[in-house]
Amino acid sequence: MEALLPVLQNRPGLSVVVCALLFRVAYRLLQNLPVPKLVQQDEFRLWKWRNLCVSLIHSLLTGTWAVSCVLIWPELLQNIHSYYTPGSYLLICVSSGYFLQDACDIILTGHIKASWEFLLHHALVFCCFLYTLYTHRYVAGTVIALFVEVNSVTLHLRLLFKLAGAQSSPVYKINKGLNLFTYVFFRLSAQFYLTWYIIHNYSWLDHGGYLFCTMMMMNTMILIYFYRLLRADFFPRSKAHVVRNGPDNNNKKFLND
């Protein structure tokens, strides 16, 4: 790992592209796996299923990786500005590659309109990650930010169940509770810890204004998603409302909620 670090640091852009291609290979391989019949009947559902499967792989990999990094090197929590290890730097390369691949997948498949919020999120994250890779600053902060991927595992499973029409299954209900817990413990907590760190050390941080503005935008998006999650899973709209608006009018939004 130590020998790999100079290569990654000298060519971070190339490293990200290579990682993006590896995720694309995973996308192609996943096309050979069977999918539920309900998913096969709709083109958007089929694309969303395959897209989410790649996202799930990324979340399982990077979420576990990020938590492991902090457990092995706890200084990552304290020195967010300048401390990092070869393993943590490689983690950022891998995750950046995924976001690049996923953004390209959304654009090239023509799903920009239905997924514009994800594209905005990816753009914000990708810019921050590239800044980290090229300046070697805030690698530890980026690792902490990737704690959200632990929650993304349950979020992706939730949407996969919805795509398959399995919202009434016991496993979906268990995942619903786990999703709420991981959203608060890993996503909100990690995001607010980083926000506190930036505000507390704003006076001496490199490009503190850029970091603060980006973090505020991310915080706003995360809180909006949290509200949508609570509304969809714990305070659902009445059946009369659904019937009045039609069952298929918001099909794509239903799959994104």
H-type helices in the chain, by residue range? 4-10, 12-30, 37-40, 43-72, 75-78, 86-108, 116-135, 139-145, 148-163, 170-182, 189-200, 208-233, 239-245, 251-256
Closest by alpha carbon to 151, among 66, 256, 51?
Answer: 66
**Cα 63 to Cα 56: distance, rounded to the nearest angstrom:** 10
List CB contacts of 124: < 8 A, sequence separation 6 or more.
214, 217, 218
**Phi first, then psi: what are they for 96, rounded to 5°?**
-60, -40
Indicate the DSSP class of residue 79: -
From the CB of residue 231, how many other CB atoms can be counted at a distance below 10 Å?
A: 12
Please tell me the pTM assigned to this model.
0.89
Element counts in the chain: helices (H) and strands (E): 14, 0
Q: Is the pLDDT of residue 5 over 70?
A: no
Tokens encoding 168: 């009434």
Give the Å distances, CA to CA, from 238 to 34, 176, 232, 253: 34, 19, 11, 17
- pLDDT per residue over 86-103, tens digit each? 999 999 999 999 999 999
Closest by alpha carbon to 81, among 239, 227, 208?
Answer: 208
Q: Answer whether 92's CB lies under 8 Å from 142's CB.
A: yes
Provide the greatest CA pair distance for the chain.
Answer: 62
Task: Show me where the domains of the chain are located.
Answer: 4-256
Query: Confidence class of residue 248 from pLDDT cuts 50, 70 and 90?
Result: very low
Q: Answer whether 101's CB lies under 8 Å from 31's CB.
A: no
Closest by alpha carbon to 24, among 48, 50, 4, 59?
Answer: 50
Q: Is the pLDDT of residue 242 over 50?
A: no
User: Residue 252 carries which side chain, given as an amino acid letter?
Assistant: K
From the CB of residue 205, how many other CB atoms can be counted at a distance below 10 Å?
A: 20
Indicate the DSSP class of residue 185: I
- pLDDT per residue over 163-204, tens digit each? 999 999 999 999 999 999 999 999 999 999 999 999 999 999
- pLDDT per residue over 42-81, tens digit each? 999 999 999 999 999 999 999 999 999 999 999 999 999 9
